Amino acid sequence: MEAINKYYLEDGHIEPVENYTIDTDEKGRIIYEVIRVIDGVPLFFEDHIKRMEDSFRLMNKTFSYKFEKIKEYLSKLIKANEIINGNIKLTFDIKTDTMKVFNIKHSYPSEELYKTGIKTIFYHGERTNPNAKVVDSSFRSKVIEEIKKSNAFEAILVDNNGYITEGSKSNVFLIKDNTLFTPPIEAVLPGITRGKIISVANSIGINVDESNVRFEELKDFDAAFISGTSPKILPISYVNDIKLNVENELMRKLIKEFDREIELYVKKNKE
């Protein structure tokens, strides 16, 4: 069962987790968001709900929820389950018009991985609708199988034209000289962490170039990292047999500034 802890919400009503039913894995039926809770605060909540609204629009569905109502759901769950830190998942079944809000297991990278970086692999494949945050169990299963087979942490997706797009569950950034590269938004999931990183980079004078990079060109870059709700900014040490610099100065500066951005948000929104 995906839901954990004592309670979950279904259309705003608190229910014991024993009553939770697994959502269908029918492709494109479930719109979802995963929000990280730090010190009792749902991190970057507004951005997550805005993205959920965008996913509704891409699926030709009307988003009938008010931001305040969803925040009320999150607060209710956080209090009921006494959550200090963890991940909350929101799912919406577009056929039954049912919203569920529940805690899920989380796995945050160790401090050691932030120092040493992670091993990744290339995976040639595309998600059907990259801009929408929808469940696609078949594609995910194939990628997970390759990740396990290679004993890797993540897979870097390569589209049919040979361009790097994103990670299987993360966004991807590359660094060369004083410029931060990331694939254009049209080709990837508009990650909340991705957007915050670009904003932080701009604020501290780092050039950001949103453009396509072919996977064969990765060897010409200095460093790379993945980003996401759980990993935040996580350095990449290898992509297949391509070694990258995990001590890159620009990347380390970004990690420090992004962590500061999180601290400020949590402090500002703490009840």
Instruction: List, for residues 113-171, the tens digit of each pLDDT value.
Output: 999 999 999 999 877 666 655 656 778 888 899 999 999 999 999 999 999 999 999 99
User: Which pLDDT score is estimated for 154?
Assistant: 96
Do both 78 and 139 map to the same domain? no
Do both 170 and 53 map to the same domain? no
What is the bridge-based pairing of β-strands 13-16 and 86-93? unpaired
Dist. CA 34–CA 264, nearest whole Å: 21
How does pLDDT run across 82-99, given as a tens digit for each residue?
A: 999 999 999 998 888 889
| Total of domains in the chain | 2
**Domain assignment of residue 200, given as a range:** 111-266
Q: Is the pLDDT of residue 79 over 90?
A: yes
2 is written with which tokens? 């995906």
Mean pLDDT of 34-59: 92
Do both 62 and 85 map to the same domain? yes
Of the listed ranges 59-73, 130-144, 168-182, 226-240, the least confidently predicted one is 130-144
Q: Is the pLDDT of residue 217 over 70?
A: yes
The conformation of residue 229, written as its DSSP 8-state character, comes to T
**CATH code for the domain in which residue 85 is found:** 3.30.470.10
Do both 165 and 41 map to the same domain? no
User: Which pLDDT score is estimated for 262?
Assistant: 97
User: Which pLDDT score is estimated for 60?
Assistant: 84
Mean pLDDT of 27-41: 90
Do both 141 and 38 map to the same domain? no
Q: Shortest CA distance to 109 belongs to which of 228, 230, 193, 226? A: 230
Q: Which residues of 169-202 are buried (b: 16+ CB within 10 A; e: fewer)?
A: bbbbbbbbeeebbbbebebbbbbbbbbbbbebbe
User: Which pLDDT score is estimated for 113?
Assistant: 96
Do both 100 and 141 map to the same domain? no
- Residue 241 inside a domain? The answer is yes
Average pLDDT across the chain, whole number: 91
- Residue 131 inside a domain? The answer is yes
For the entire predicted model, the pTM comes to 0.89
- Residue 271 inside a domain? The answer is no
Choosing from 54, 79, 104, the residue where a domain stops is 104
User: Which pLDDT score is estimated for 186?
Assistant: 87
8 A C-beta contact, residue 153 and residue 201: no
Do both 145 and 257 map to the same domain? yes
User: Which pLDDT score is estimated for 267?
Assistant: 95
- Residue 165 inside a domain? The answer is yes
pLDDT greater at residue 128 or residue 73: 73
User: Which pLDDT score is estimated for 63?
Assistant: 83
Do both 148 and 68 map to the same domain? no
